[in-house]
Amino acid sequence: MTTAAAPRPRSSPRPRPALAVPLALVLSFLFCGRATALCGDISGDGYIKVSDALSVLKAAVFQYDYDAAYDLDAGQGSDGKITVTDALLVLKAAVKIADPSCAAATETLTVATTASCDFAAGGVGTFALDPPAASSHALGTVSADAVVRTAAGRVFVLNRYGADNVQELDSDAGMATLWQCSVGNGSNPHDIVIVSEDLGYVSLYDSKDLAIIDPSPSSDCSDFVQGNLDLSGYADADGFPEMDQMLLVGDTLLIVLQRLNRGSMFAPASNGALVAVDTATSTVTASLELSITNPYAETKGLVYDEATGLVYLAGPGTFFSDLDDGGIEAVAVDGLVSQGVLMNGTALGGDLTDLVLVGSSRAYAVVAGDDFANSLVEVDLNKGEVSATLATSDYLFSDIELTESGRLWLADRDCSDPGLRVFSIADNGETTTAPLYPGLSPFSLTFLD
């Protein structure tokens, strides 16, 4: 059931960033964990190969229409053309002479929430992308249990357990707070999706209700929560569906439900589920019971491959006792049809806690072993096997994210040497000589366009 609050007059609305294209269109492409369109990877499989260089050469010779994936940066940015130089740069990337540098890449800054090792204090840090370096840190700006999202030049933070609010930060003013609005005491917000300037959704982990919000609220937040959508019909016996990460595809909002038993230390009560919501009416239109349990691995919205129309659901299942009930499951967005489990925990070598997709057959994942040690691994989805291990730690790897130019950022919460670490996926080598430490240990991260 959907209930909506009566419209209220606005008072002192916050300033909005100027946009050259409609906000809804931009956000529908940027506000979720989409597969990274790695420049130079013409086939879209996640690898740069000699055949990709040949494709770029053909495009240059026969004057194909401009495509940003073909346009690499030789040090002068984008020239708006596909040239023989681009083909040469792709070839160098294919034979590991040089990393690809995407001329049309949109990322300008890394933004990370931070937390002390005991989760008593939190903050927000910013980092330069090239070369990677800590730029600033604002202590106390956010809660100690906070995750960050960016879209269309806007930075949103979900202050989760014990804080129960959403805030927007001003990237032009040292990450100062523009607004901060509650979603209800004890609600524990986990993800946010923006549909338009006046419509968005927040998943509430400790509630049966999906919050319907106005992401451009008045200064007193009286119009922030516009209504709710009751999802208790998809919950397990305790009445809570444990709604987590979300994804917007066109007019459809996808929400993953973990369905855990709160009376048994949050162990899986049943398989996870995926629910589709029509954003025009805020009503559920379809649902799917997944093959895996406890699907929570993505920490930046659900992972979506626009080229194939597949969304990837991932999670550990039951921690440290059953490797076969978690893993990576692919679902076709059209009709919500499962394509099956691509890899389970046994194939991954542990319980899956985070995932980024590079292309149709390549991914990177964080897995936890039964000794609580974390590993960052490269995954070949076609072969169903781990192809490389990039890093290991006895402590928590809390988040991984990937840039369009093939830089993999890792939030390493090793309390003896914490910080953000950067790897090149061209050779899986670490490019940072020491973790980038802004002042507190990094927890979640994303890139600002």
Own/partner long-range contacts of 410-418 (Cβ < 8 Å, ≥24 apart): 410/376, 411/112, 411/441, 411/442, 411/443, 411/444, 411/445, 412/442, 413/117, 413/441, 413/442, 413/443, 415/117, 415/441, 418/117, 418/442
174 Rama class: left (phi>0) / alpha (psi -120 to 50) / beta = left
CA atoms of 330 and 313, how far apart (whole Å) = 6
Report in angstroms the alpha-carbon separations of 63 from 42, 79, 80, 422: 16, 14, 12, 36
Kindly state the helix (H) or strand (E) to which residue 29 belongs, with its residue range.
Answer: helix 23-30
Own/partner long-range contacts of 259-263 (Cβ < 8 Å, ≥24 apart): 259/234, 259/235, 259/293, 260/236, 260/294, 261/236, 261/237, 262/238, 263/238
pTM, two decimal places: 0.89
Alpha-helix residue ranges (DSSP H) falling in 69-166? 84-94
CA atoms of 69 and 137, how far apart (whole Å) = 34
pLDDT tens-place values along the chain, 449 residues long: 444 433 333 334 344 433 333 333 333 333 445 556 688 899 989 999 999 999 999 999 998 888 878 888 876 666 678 899 989 999 998 988 777 778 878 888 999 999 999 999 999 999 999 899 999 999 999 999 999 998 778 999 999 999 999 999 999 999 999 999 999 999 999 999 999 999 999 999 999 999 999 999 999 999 999 999 999 999 999 999 999 999 999 999 999 999 999 999 899 999 999 999 999 999 999 999 999 999 998 878 899 998 899 999 999 999 988 899 999 999 999 999 999 999 999 999 999 999 999 988 999 999 999 888 999 999 999 999 999 999 999 999 999 999 988 899 999 999 999 999 999 998 899 999 999 999 999 999 999 98
Q: For residue 39, which of 10, 66, 73 has the smallest C-alpha distance?
A: 73
Going by the DSSP 8-state scheme, the letter that residue 131 receives in this structure is: T
Kindly state the helix (H) or strand (E) to which residue 61 belongs, with its residue range.
Answer: helix 50-61
Q: What are the residues facing 199 on neighbouring strands? A: 196
Contact 285, 276 (CB under 8 A): yes
Question: Helix or strand or coil: residue 190?
Answer: strand
CA atoms of 412 and 249, how far apart (whole Å) = 31
Going by the DSSP 8-state scheme, the letter that residue 112 receives in this structure is: E
Structural domains of the chain, ranges and CATH numbers in brackets: 34-94 (1.10.1330.10), 109-448 (2.130.10.10)
Number of neighbouring beta carbons within 10 Å of residue 261: 16
